[in-house]
């Protein structure tokens, strides 16, 4: 498999934003006419993503999360990053389909479109063995991580399809959908059955979105955002905290890059924000030829 390993790519790893994905340099104005919908935008990676799209010149950024106070903070950061980027928000629990539907409708009504959707809301509970787990707590991971992502997908897709159609007719790329996965999706670690299986399912859900809506012009990605010292990151056992070395700006800038169209060839796949995008692009022929970075059962040694 050349430089391709069975689970990961042997690429230069980054821990923070770098020149090739810098929304204020290489990607400056790349989002100038786009409307961005972000679920889970109140803090951490979601907040950084909202700011990064504003720095890249987004027409508008629509924020959702459960905390209005935190949403106002993100809104202020967006306005500071780019006074010309319009910004609105809705208090929204992604596990509630009606709330997500209402937020999406409000976004489209205010800004006229949705060109990029980022399902960033997530949850990680205590790590315990399945036989010792709390059923409600175990399932909460799936409600937020999987059901929440589904709701964002379901209600933004009609708008993303329209974006892909409209922008495609003009020779531009639109209809980008980013699902937050995790490197944990590729591991089996004691006590992490709820979180890691939900993230593994996100990877497969990404593939189904692409299978169902490739003809509609949708480009869906399942993204590991790096090891970031967010509330979710700190919910891991203490011995795992040494891996929380990545800045939120890395995943945020990576999301902007995914939305430029430069990564459209990698649609329907699992990608890591840590991977150097120039080196990743160089592996395009091999990745497409061998259908890599997707969930598959290995049946041969």
Q: Strand (E) positions, the chain?
A: 35-39, 60-65, 86-91, 116-119, 176-180, 219-224, 269-272
φ/ψ of residue 267, rounded to 5? -55, 145
Neighbour tally for 284: CB within 10 Å = 12
Catalytic residue list contains 18: no
Categorise residue 143: left if φ over 0, alpha if ψ from -120 to 50, beta otherwise. alpha
Catalytic residue chosen out of the listed positions 89, 123, 155, 195? 195
Catalytic residue chosen out of the listed positions 34, 199, 219, 267? 199
- What are the angstrom distances between the C-alpha of 283 and each of 150, 172, 186, 270? 30, 23, 20, 14
Do the beta carbons of residue 204 and residue 236 sit within 8 Å? no
- Whole-number Å distance between alpha carbons of 284 and 169: 25
Q: Strand (E) positions, 217-284?
A: 219-224, 269-272
Catalytic residue list contains 199: yes
Catalytic residues: 195, 199
């Amino acid at each position: 498999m050349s430089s391709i390993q069975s689970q990961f790519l042997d690429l230069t790893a980054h821990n923070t934003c770098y020149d090739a994905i810098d929304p204020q340099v290489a990607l400056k104005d790349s989002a100038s006419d786009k409307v961005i919908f972000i679920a889970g935008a109140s803090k951490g990676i979601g907040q950084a993503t909202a700011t990064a799209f504003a720095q890249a010149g987004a027409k508008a950024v629509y924020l959702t999360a459960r905390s209005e106070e935190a949403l106002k903070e993100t809104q202020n950061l967006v306005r500071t990053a780019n006074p010309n980027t319009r910004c609105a928000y809705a208090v929204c629990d992604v596990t509630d389909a009606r709330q997500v539907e209402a937020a999406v409708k409000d976004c489209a009504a205010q800004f006229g479109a949705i060109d990029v959707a980022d399902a960033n809301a997530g949850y990680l509970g205590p790590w315990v063995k399945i036989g010792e787990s709390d059923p409600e707590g175990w399932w909460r991971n799936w409600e937020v991580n999987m059901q929440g992502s589904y709701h964002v997908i379901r209600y933004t897709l009609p708008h993303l399809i329209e974006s892909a159609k409209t922008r495609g007719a003009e020779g531009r790329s639109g209809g980008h959908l980013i699902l937050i996965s995790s490197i944990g999706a590729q591991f089996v670690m004691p006590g992490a059955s709820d979180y890691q299986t939900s993230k593994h399912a996100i990877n497969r859900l990404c593939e189904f979105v692409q299978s169902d809506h490739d003809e509609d012009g949708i480009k869906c990605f399942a993204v590991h955002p790096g090891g970031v010292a967010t509330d979710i990151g700190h919910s891991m056992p203490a011995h795992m905290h040494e891996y929380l070395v990545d800045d939120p700006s890395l995943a945020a800038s990576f999301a902007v890059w995914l939305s430029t169209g430069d990564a459209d060839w990698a649609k329907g796949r699992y990608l890591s924000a840590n991977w150097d995008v120039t080196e990743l692009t160089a592996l395009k022929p091999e990745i497409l030829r061998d259908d890599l970075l997707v969930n598959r059962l290995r049946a041969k040694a």
